Amino acid sequence: MTPPLTDVETPTQATVATAITEHSERDENVPVLSVRGLHKHFVLHNVDGRRVEGLNGIDLDVRAGEHIALAGSSGAGKSTLLKCIYRTYLPSAGTVTLRSPNGPVELTGLADAKLAAIRGREFGYVSQFLRAEPRRGALDIVARAGIARGMDRETAIEAAAVALRRLHLDESLWDVFASVLSGGEKQRVNLAAGTISPPQLLLLDEPVSALDPANREAALALIADLTATGVAVLAVFHDLDAMDRLASRVVVMRSGRIIESGPPDQVLHHLEGVAR
Amino acid sequence: MTVYDTARDTAGDTSSDTRLEDATIAYSKAPSAGQPVLRVERLGKIFGDQNLAAVAHTGPNAGTEKSPDGNSVVAAWDVSFNVAAGEAFGVIGESGSGKSTVMRAIAGDHSSTAGSVWMQRRDGSTVDLLTMTASERRALRVDELSVVYQDAAEGLDLGVTAGGNVADRLTAAGWRNFGQIRERAAELLGRTEVPLERMDDLVRTFSGGMRQRVQLARALANRPPIVLLDEPTTGLDASVAAGVLDLIRSLLEELGIAAVVVSHDFAVIEMLTTRCMVMQHGRVVEQGLTDQLFEDPQAPYTQRLVAAARA
Report the CATH number that the domain containing residue A45 is assigned in CATH: 3.40.50.300
Note down the domain range covering A62: 34-122+239-276
User: Which pLDDT band holds residue B28 (cuts at 50, 70, 90)?
Assistant: very low
Chain B hits for A112, Cβ within 8 Å: 7-9, 275, 288-289
Whose CA is closest to B218, among B165, B261, B181? B165
CB contact under 8 A, B303 and A45: yes
- Smallest CA–CA distance from A111 into chain B, residue: B8
CA distance A209 to A220: 11
- Smallest CA–CA distance from B298 into chain A, residue: A43
Lowest mean pLDDT of A101-105, A228-232, A271-275, B71-75, name the range.
A271-275
Instruction: Name the DSSP class of B65.
Output: S
Region for residue A44 given its phi and psi (left: phi exceeds 0; alpha: psi -120 to 50; beta: otherwise): beta
What pTM, to 2 d.p., does this model score? 0.85
Angle at CA A18, nearest 5°, toward B30 and A151?
25
Q: Is residue A59 part of a domain?
A: yes
| The predicted structure's pLDDT at residue B5 | 63
Nearest by CB to A148, from B29, B246, B295: name it.
B29
Residue B92 pLDDT > 90, yes or no?
Answer: yes
A93 Cβ under 8 Å from any chain B Cβ: no
Nearest by CB to A46, from B12, B15, B307: name it.
B307
- How would you label A196-212 residue by residue, b for 16+ Cβ within 10 Å and e otherwise? bbbbbbbbbbbbbbbbe
| Residues B201-221: tens digit of each pLDDT | 999 999 999 999 999 999 999
* Mean pLDDT along residues B39-50: 96
Contacts of A170 (CB under 8 A, 6+ apart): none
Residue A136 pLDDT > 90, yes or no?
Answer: no
Chain B hits for A133, Cβ within 8 Å: 246, 249-250
Q: Is residue A202 part of a domain?
A: no
CA distance A15 to chain B (A): 10
CA distance A40 to A59: 13
Residue type, B201: D
Q: What is the mean pLDDT of chain B?
A: 88
A129 Cβ under 8 Å from any chain B Cβ: no
Pairing label, strands A201-205, A232-236: parallel
Pairing label, strands A201-205, A123-126: parallel
| The predicted structure's pLDDT at residue A33 | 98
Residue A16 pLDDT > 60, yes or no?
Answer: no
| The predicted structure's pLDDT at residue A27 | 59
Q: Is residue A16 part of a domain?
A: no
CB contact under 8 A, A46 and B15: no
Instruction: Name the DSSP class of B296.
Output: S
* Mean pLDDT along residues B68-90: 95
Residue B117 pLDDT > 80, yes or no?
Answer: yes
Q: Is residue A108 part of a domain?
A: yes
| The predicted structure's pLDDT at residue A268 | 87
Q: Is residue A71 part of a domain?
A: yes
A47 Cβ under 8 Å from any chain B Cβ: no
Region for residue B174 given its phi and psi (left: phi exceeds 0; alpha: psi -120 to 50; beta: otherwise): left
Residue A276 pLDDT > 50, yes or no?
Answer: no
A11 Cβ under 8 Å from any chain B Cβ: yes
| The predicted structure's pLDDT at residue B26 | 28
| The predicted structure's pLDDT at residue B13 | 39
Residue B176 pLDDT > 60, yes or no?
Answer: yes
| The predicted structure's pLDDT at residue B58 | 96
| The predicted structure's pLDDT at residue B168 | 95
Q: What percent of chain B has pLDDT over 90?
A: 73
CA distance B232 to A191: 33
Instruction: Name the DSSP class of B269.
Output: H
CB contact under 8 A, B9 and A83: no
Interface mutation vs chain B, best among A112, A115, A200, most B CBs within 10 Å: A112
| The predicted structure's pLDDT at residue A134 | 72
Chain A hits for B258, Cβ within 8 Å: none
Q: Is residue A181 part of a domain?
A: no
The total of other beta-carbon atoms located within 10 Å of residue A184's CB is 17
Nearest by CB to A90, from B6, B10, B12: name it.
B6
CB contact under 8 A, B19 and A109: no
Instruction: Name the DSSP class of B131.
Output: G
The total of other beta-carbon atoms located within 10 Å of residue B123's CB is 6
Q: Is residue A8 part of a domain?
A: no
Residue pair A62/A232 in contact (Cβ under 8 Å)? The answer is yes
A118 Cβ under 8 Å from any chain B Cβ: yes
- Smallest CA–CA distance from A132 into chain B, residue: B271
What angle do the packed helices B134-143 and B162-172 form, to 10 degrees? Answer: 120
Residues of B with a Cβ under 8 Å from any A Cβ are 6-10, 12-16, 18-20, 22-24, 26-27, 29-30, 32-33, 84, 87, 242, 245-246, 249-250, 274-275, 288-289, 291-292, 295-296, 298-300, 303-304, 307
ipTM surpasses 0.90: no
Pairing label, strands B226-230, B145-148: parallel
Residue pair A99/A106 in contact (Cβ under 8 Å)? The answer is no
Q: What is the mean pLDDT of chain A?
A: 88
| Residues A29-84: tens digit of each pLDDT | 789 999 999 999 999 998 889 999 999 999 999 999 999 999 999 999 999 999 99
Instruction: Name the DSSP class of B55.
Output: G
- Output helix, strand, coil percentages for chain B, rounded to the nearest 5: 40, 25, 35
Residue pair A199/A250 in contact (Cβ under 8 Å)? The answer is no
Residue pair B216/B153 in contact (Cβ under 8 Å)? The answer is no
Residue A209 pLDDT > 70, yes or no?
Answer: yes
CB contact under 8 A, A133 and B249: yes
Chain B hits for A134, Cβ within 8 Å: 242, 245-246
A112 Cβ under 8 Å from any chain B Cβ: yes
- Smallest CA–CA distance from A13 into chain B, residue: B16
Residue A255 pLDDT > 70, yes or no?
Answer: yes
B116 bridge partner residues: B41
User: Which pLDDT band holds residue A26 (cuts at 50, 70, 90)?
Assistant: low
Domain count, chain A: 1
B286 bridge partner residues: B4, B278
Residue B48 pLDDT > 90, yes or no?
Answer: yes
User: Which pLDDT band holds residue B249 (cuts at 50, 70, 90)?
Assistant: confident
CB contact under 8 A, A117 and B22: no
* Mean pLDDT along residues A235-244: 92
DSSP annotation string for A52-119: EEEEEEEEEEE-TT-EEEEE-STTSSHHHHHHHHHTSS--SEEEEEE--TTS-EESTTS-HHHHHHHB
Chain A hits for B307, Cβ within 8 Å: 46
State phi, psi for B64 to the nearest 5 degrees.
-160, 160
| The predicted structure's pLDDT at residue B122 | 87
Q: Is residue A138 part of a domain?
A: no
CB contact under 8 A, B27 and A121: yes
Residue B252: Cβ-neighbour burial (10 angstroms; 0-12, 13-18, 19+): buried
